Amino acid sequence: MNLIVNIQKNVRKYGFEMATRQAWKCGIKANLVKRVVGVAKGQIVCVIEGVRPELSTEINNPLHCAEKQGKYVFVGGVVWLPNDLLAPGFPDFMFMHVRNLGPKHKYMTDDELFLNLA
């Protein structure tokens, strides 16, 4: 399962990786997520594969604060950023646009994700 997150508001404050990992209000579906995809202005700018969800605390989230209490942060995994373009294993779908994405985060299977790429 993929979690597609809109990070355009927090990119300047936290950078691509931390804005993508940051505390998201997810339900039980968070335990199914294996990849988090950060999208800014409709374009994929960060992919983190092999993550695991944990409730945000001071220990696992360096940016934890009271408003992030009860939200999930995605830890671990392999991070792919735009500067990793020449690295082996770089995702083929990086820099593509995602259709049907609203202001909130969205869960998608791999098939749904690839159908919504433009």
pLDDT tens, residue by residue, 32-59: 999 999 998 889 999 999 999 988 888 8
Q: What is the DSSP letter of 77?
A: S
Measured over all CA atoms, what is the biggest interatomic distance in the chain, rounded to whole angstroms? 39
Q: Tell whether the model's pLDDT for residue 112 goes beyond 90.
A: yes
Q: What angle do CA 57, 14, 46 make, to 5 degrees?
A: 100
Structure confidence at residue 47 (pLDDT) = 94
Q: What total number of domains does the chain contain?
A: 1
Closest to 30 measured CA to CA, from 53, 56, 62, 60: 53
Token digits for 50? 């092999």
pTM (2 decimals)? 0.88
Structure confidence at residue 69 (pLDDT) = 82
Domain of 99?
2-116
